[in-house]
Structures are given as structure tokens and as C-alpha cells.
Amino acid sequence: MSLHALETFIKELGENSYRAKQIYAGLYKDRFTNFDEFSTLPKTFRELLKEKAEILSIKLDKHLISKDGTQKMTFAVEEGKVIETVWIPTGDEERKTICISSQVGCTLSCAFCATGLLDFKGNLKVWQIVDQILQVEKIVGDRCTNIVFMGMGEPMHNYDSVIQSAHIFHDPQTWNLGAKRITISTAGVVTGIERFIKNKEPFNFAISLNHPNPVTRKTIMGIDEKYPLEVLLKSARDFTKTLGRRITFEYIMIPGVNMGKENALKLVKILRSVNCKINLIPLNTELHGWRKPNEDEIDTFRELLKSSKVPILNRRSPGKDINGACGMLAAVSY
């Protein structure tokens, strides 16, 4: 619950609303996991809470540690429903990112992504999203500096739970993460982007682009059938114009598919038309017989994009040896 929702709930139980702040602090600062630990609350009220409420937790199933320091946790959220969450320390570890899931499986089937091979088993509830952060921080013994909704699932297909949990992470009384430290991504669900714009959400936003040609993009991103590239780009321009913020395009580099000179030139035109930056990500899976790009191919493609004059990032995909890198989360071996 948000603090406001918790205050309403507490009032309905006949208690003063300030008790909500005590519970909020117990959950997110003290990290209590049962009502007996809330010593600031009267015993009679604690007993009432046990009758009326629950503090639930997802259960750790597997914990893998990469040679580069990345850690991947597999969690059981319900019987037969498993998700994965990744802890990603960067460089000197000043930046510590947690990549969280928003669905069990995925409603989409992006060709490069192992999650798309799984059956969709439902949206995660707010508490199941929030508890990923609580559990991972407890396991690694550290606090994150950034959160990205880029794990299993399409965040815009679980919009309400994703946005509610993002606001909890942003709350000064919980993690107090700046809005720019919370990134929500989409494969291109235009209705979700429009809703995000309308609500003037403050968080960073990323779109998985992956091909500049609308015909070929359909072969990589099935969602292009419903939300064509030109419609998606219009929503991206609306985002930057209405909210006055830069948007991020993510681009999975696949040799022989979307890294040719013609692809680069078309991509440059797109980048020039939107207030954006682009995040280049090498393919990590080996689905469809595709291979990962080598360093020379990445450097050549990046060089071709420089004329766009937009910031170009090259994410190096940590955690590949534990199937924890972008596109590899599948909860089972693919």
C-alpha cells in the first residue's frame, strides 16, 4: 500500500492515522517481516493487524553469482510461478542497479528474448514487485541506487502495479530514489506510453526499438503488428514534447539483422527526429541461429550513428555467464 492507502486502512480499523507512518517505517526502514516486530504499536493493535492484514514475501529459489559481480535470484511468487531479478553493480560499485520483473513470463514474444519462450502466467501484484527489492537487498547486504523495470514481462501490460511500485521506490519515506534513478521500459505499448504522458509520471522511460525499418521490425518485435513503428515514434515525440524530457531508445544489436549501413542511416534519421539517447546492447541469446556481435562490428555500427549527435551508450551486458544479461531471463534454461 501507498502511505495514503495505508492511512485510510488504519482509520477503517479505528486507529489514528499516524500509526500508518509507524507501519510504513517498520516495513521499509526497519525491514520488519511480521507484526510482532512492530514494538512501537500497542499489542492489541498488533493482534488486530494479524487478523486483518498480511506481510507477504516472495521465496528465494536460486541464487547465482557471476564472475563480474552480477547476481541473479530466482523467486517463487506463488505456486508454480517463478520470476528472476538481477543485482548489477557497475564499475567502482557507486551505481548498484536492480533489474526487476513485472510479469510471470510475458505477453509478448520478442524474437531475441528468452522470456518470450515462456508461458504467460500473470501480472505481478504491487507487493511482489516491491518485495523483489527488499529481498535482493537483504541477500546482497547492500542498498540499490537505481531500479530498472527491464526484467521478465512487459511493464506497460501491468501498468497500475508498475507505476504504484515505482512511486513507493520514489517515496522519501522508503527508498527515496530520485525519479531519474527509476527507469520503466516498454517494447512499444503505445496506449501505456500515452497513459504515462497523460499522468505526467516523473520516471525515466525507455523504448525497445531494435530496428529502424517498420517492415523488418515486425520480424523481431511482434508488437509492431498492433503498434506500428510510425505510431510508436509519434508517441515518443509526444513524450518529449509534453514532458520536456529525453527518452531512451534501446537497440539490441543483431549481426546480419539490424546492424547494416542501411539500418544505421535509417536509425540516424529517427534519432535526429526525437529528443533521445540510444542504448546499444549486444545480443546475448543464441535464438534463431543468431550470433552475438563482435567488438569490431559494435564499433563500426556505433561510428555510423555518431552523425545523429545524440548520446550513444554501449551497455556491456554483465551477468552473461549466469544467464542474467539482457534478454536472457527465463527462470528455466532455454
Residue 152: DSSP 8-state: S
Question: What residues have CB less than 8 Å from 295, skipping those under 6 apart?
Answer: none
Question: What residues have CB less than 8 Å from 216, skipping those under 6 apart?
Answer: 257, 258
- Whole-number Å distance between alpha carbons of 252 and 183: 17
220: cell is 523481431
Q: Is 144 a catalytic residue?
A: no
Q: Is 297 a catalytic residue?
A: no
- What is the dihedral sign for C-alpha 86, 252, 94, 173? negative
Residue from 84, 154, 201, 250 carrying the catalytic annotation:
84
Q: Round the CA-based radius of gyration of the chain to a whole number and report it.
A: 21
Residue from 106, 110, 113, 326 carrying the catalytic annotation:
326
- What is the dihedral sign for C-alpha 121, 288, 111, 328? positive
Instruction: Please say whether the beta carbons of 210 and 188 come within 8 A.
Output: no
User: What strand order describes the sheet that includes 247-253?
Assistant: 59-65, 71-78, 81-90, 95-99, 146-149, 182-186, 204-208, 247-253, 276-282, 312-314
Closest CA relative to residue 13, chosen from 35, 33, 32: 35
Per-position DSSP letters for 107-151, written without gaps between them: S---TT-GGGGSPP-EEPPHHHHHHHHHHHHHHHTS--SEEEE-S
322: cell is 549466469
Instruction: Please say whether the beta carbons of 274 and 237 come within 8 A.
Output: yes
Q: Which residues are catalytic?
A: 84, 326
